[in-house]
Amino acid sequence: MFEGTTILAIRHRGKVVVVGDGQVSLGQTVMKHSARKVRKLHHDKVIAGFAGATADAFTLFEKFEAKLEQFNGNLKRAAVELAKDWRTDRILRRLEALLIIADFDDLLVISGAGDVIEPDDGVIAVGSGGNFALAAARVLVKHSQLDARAIAEESMRVAASLCVYTNEQLTFEELA
């Protein structure tokens, strides 16, 4: 588990929302409150968010965007190819991060162990507050009339209230 962030992705009622908190922690010290851990890639058609070491995440964003270009925006193919490279490359395999990636068709988590995981229910989260955000989002998707962004915001507020490595300075990226 990565301490220092929470990233949540939701596909609900025709929208895709990925949200990340802004806290950057070094040990027990908050170093920054307003980091952007979520961004759009590939002509604003893909959203990616990271949990883990910042420099590692930026490297993975660049590698993933190159894979998207190589495979003409095919998210699953780019994800699988990145996971293979990440797992087998001597330098890349030392990177410590998790990526959530999303487009209109897919939500995926990519890990350095070679995992490419797609949720069953259109909700996925990573990071130290990920399980809190995930639980809240699943309940709200099933039992509320809120839209995807409102569910994401409320779920992240729950995570921030429970996880000391997550704050309420949220960055949202959406596809509609």
Give one DSSP letter per residue of the chain, joined into a string.
--TT-EEEEEEETTEEEEEE---EEETTEEEES----EEEETTTTEEEEEEE-HHHHHHHHHHHHHHHHHTTT-HHHHHHHHHHHHHHSTTGGG--EEEEEE-SS-EEEEETTS-EE--SSSEEEEETTHHHHHHHHHHHHHH----HHHHHHHHHHHHHHH-TT--S--EEEEE-
Show which residues are catalytic: 5
| CA atoms in the 13 A half-sphere facing the CB of 43 | 6
